Amino acid sequence: MKTVRAAAVQMVSSADWRENTEKMKALVREAARQGADWVLLPEYWPLMGRSDRDKIAVAEAAGDGVFQTALSEAARENGVVLFGGTVPLVSSAAGKVRNTLPVFGRDGKWLAGYDKIHLFGYSGLGERYAEADTIEAGRQVPRFEADGWGVAQGICYDLRFPELFRAQMPFGVLMLPAAFTYTTGKAHWELLLRARAVENQCYVVAAGQGGVHESGRKTFGHSMIIDPWGEVLVQLPQGEGVVCADLSPAKLESVRSRLPALKHRVL
């Protein structure tokens, strides 16, 4: 395991997938310019539609399509491991998609894919969200390793379910693309991210959507990288951009050896 430099990319995706794809490419280039080895994109980077159903029309078959091709090319051209936020993939359920986090290697090849398991539902303060209306839930707990690091993965609402990440042990870093609403994000985003870092004694890299979208939805942003002691290393409150930080094996080992909570687990 070696020190790697991770980047979290924040976007304010529009209803124009072509525009979003060009912005994604530019932001990955910027992350690489800042020395990133790994780059994490936000959830729904290709499309934040005027309607939740808009993503169904642009769903791709696994391994084929403009979004996956763009991610593959961005990974290869910039020499990074690219955690591709989420892309809508064709589902076996009629009228739905899979909300999938794809990972591409430095050679542009597909390394892994995780389908979001927990589907967000919320109503209150004039807002209503029901991902189950348009998304088929995943069933497989992810398993992944990169550059000697065990890597846990989750997507947005998954953050609220700590058992998902414990099921992926052992790992040293958690990668989480998201599009948290402003309402829930203001209340819980940083709290939940830091809790996952502290309880798993791991780095957390979280990339979000951060602004007002054409549907009127407002996302919280605050993409950040957190260390295994729960300290926020870098953060971008709103708007588009990149934040980077080094993930240090020495820091990880220091926290886990001084407070060996993971070894003290009983259940």
Catalytic center residues: 43, 116, 156
Cα–Cα distance list, 159 to 93, 177, 265 (Å)? 25, 10, 21
CA end-to-end distance (rounded Å), the chain: 28
Query: Computed from CA positions of residues 173, 179, 180, 182, in that sequence, does the dihedral angle turn out positive or negative?
Result: positive
Rounded to whole angstroms, how far apart are CA atoms 206 and 10? Answer: 9
- Could you write out the three-class secondary structure of 81-116? EEECCCEEEECCCCCCEEEEEEEECCCCCEEEEEEC
Pairing status of strand 87-90 against strand 97-104? antiparallel
Q: What is the CA radius of gyration of the chain?
A: 17
Chain centre to alpha carbon of residue 23: 17
Cα–Cα distance list, 250 to 1, 111, 144, 149, 254 (Å)? 10, 26, 21, 13, 6
Quick count: other Cβ atoms within 10 Å of Cβ 125? 8
Rounded to whole angstroms, how far apart are CA atoms 153 and 175? Answer: 5
